[in-house]
Amino acid sequence: MRKPFIAGNWKMNMNAASAVSLASGLVKELEGVDSVDVAVCPPFVYLQAVAAALSASNIALGSQNVYFEENGAFTGEISCDMLKDVCCTYAIIGHSERRHVMGETDELINKKVSAAINGGLLPIFCVGELLAERNAGTTNDVVARQVKKGLEGICDERIQAVTIAYEPVWAIGTGLTATPEQAQEVHAMIRGLLTELYGKDIAQSLRIQYGGSAKPGNTAELMGQPDVDGLLVGGASLKVEDFAAMVKTVA
């Protein structure tokens, strides 16, 4: 039985005051909810303030990125130890905006996934196809490649730290959502691939989130799919009432 996992990706939004206010609002709204794992991923600079606001709650903290080196001359980057130092549990890795805006490759993402696990963080490892790739009928090939390359060298023990987020790029921030059937089809393909790579027991235990314009109105039908174990939420995670409503729908 996989426990549902809903994570909010705040992206490059908020300021110090609104980040704390959003976190505090969620703590209040979600008090007592323990049947769903919940995390929020604010910008790096607000992690510490948000960690303080979440301290007496079940809501976990995550980063939106992490670098694979431990320390040194890597200007602008943030290490696993630094993130753990400010109470992060999770790290989003390979988000489509990092792949397609910042140019991150499967190889770099693989190094980050590996380093995050070794460094004691739980990766939320993102995969997903572009619209042109879906239209060309190559969704499964693209996503399978991203999963295989992103998880290269990750052994049976270490994979248990990973949540996979399937996020069709054409659905992120566009208001277009994959239909529940489209999401389920790719999630089932990913689980099949995980079965090949890690065996049935591990594949059945791993959580696969859907992301792409998830909101209160489509949460129930997406989460009603057998292989959709949670949501990675962008826009709708910026409002207490929307994100809390999504978590409560799942709970």
Q: Where are the beta strands (DSSP E) in the chain?
A: 5-9, 37-41, 60-63, 90-93, 122-127, 163-166, 208-211, 230-233
Closest distance of CB 234 from ligand PEP, Å:
2
* Interface pick for ligand PEP out of 198, 234, 240, 244 (rule CB under 6 A): 234
Rule CB under 6 A: is residue 232 a binding residue for ligand PEP?
Answer: yes
d(CA 187, CA 229): 9
Say whether residue 109 binds ligand PEP (CB under 6 A): no
Among 120, 173, 199, 217, binds ligand PEP (CB under 6 A): 173
Instruction: Decide: is 9 part of the binding site for ligand PEP (CB under 6 A).
Output: yes
| Residue 187 appears among annotated catalytic residues | no
Out of 94, 150, 168, 211, which residue is the one contacting ligand PEP (CB under 6 A)? 211
With beta carbons less than 8 A apart as the criterion, state whether 53 and 24 touch: yes
Which residue is catalytic, options 97, 104, 129, 167?
A: 167
**Residue 128 interacting with ligand PEP (CB under 6 A):** no
Q: Active site includes 95?
A: yes
For residue 83, the minimal CB distance to ligand PEP (Å) is 18
For residue 167, state whether it binds ligand PEP (rule: CB under 6 A).
yes
In sequence order, which residues have a C-beta less than 8 Å from that of residue 177 and are 6 or more positions away?
171, 212, 213, 214, 215, 218, 222
**Residue 219 interacting with ligand PEP (CB under 6 A):** no
Contact 39, 7 (CB under 8 A): yes
